[in-house]
Amino acid sequence: RGTPQGGPLSPLLANVLLDEVDKELERRGHCFVRYADDANVYVHSLKAGQRVMAVLRRLYDRLRLQVNESKSAIASAFGRKFLGYGFWLSAQGEVKRWVAS
C-alpha cells in the first residue's frame, strides 16, 4: 500500500493529500512542522496536545488515513527525535539541537 519510500512521488502525494490538514492547523493558529507524513505540532499543555491529537485523528480519518499510534505521542519537544534531530534546553535557556542516532 502506498508508494516506495525514498522516491520523489511519495512526498509530493503526501503534500497534496495533507494540505487540508495543514490548512486546518494554520486556521487554528498552531505552530507545526511537517515533512511528508511526519509531523510535530507544538502546543503549551498536555490538554492542548490531547485536543490537537483528537482533531488530527478526525482529519486523517476523513482522508482515510491512520495515525501510527506506535510512533505518535503527546510529549515535550525536548528529548524527542524528528527527522534525525532532537532538541534540548541549555542552562542559559537557549534551544539547542543534536543529531539523533
Cβ count within 10 A of residue 53: 16
C-alpha cell at 50: 490531547
Band (1; pLDDT cuts 50, 70, 90): low
Spatial distance between the Cα atoms of 35 and 44, rounded to a whole number of angstroms: 22
**All residues at 6 or more sequence positions from 36 whose CB lies less than 8 Å from its CB, including other chains:** 10, 11, 14, 15
pTM for the whole structure: 0.79
pLDDT in tens, 57-101: 999 999 999 999 998 999 988 888 888 999 989 999 999 999 987
CA angle 45, 51, 53 (to 5 degrees): 100
Spatial distance between the Cα atoms of 83 and 16, rounded to a whole number of angstroms: 20
Percent of the chain with pLDDT over 70: 98
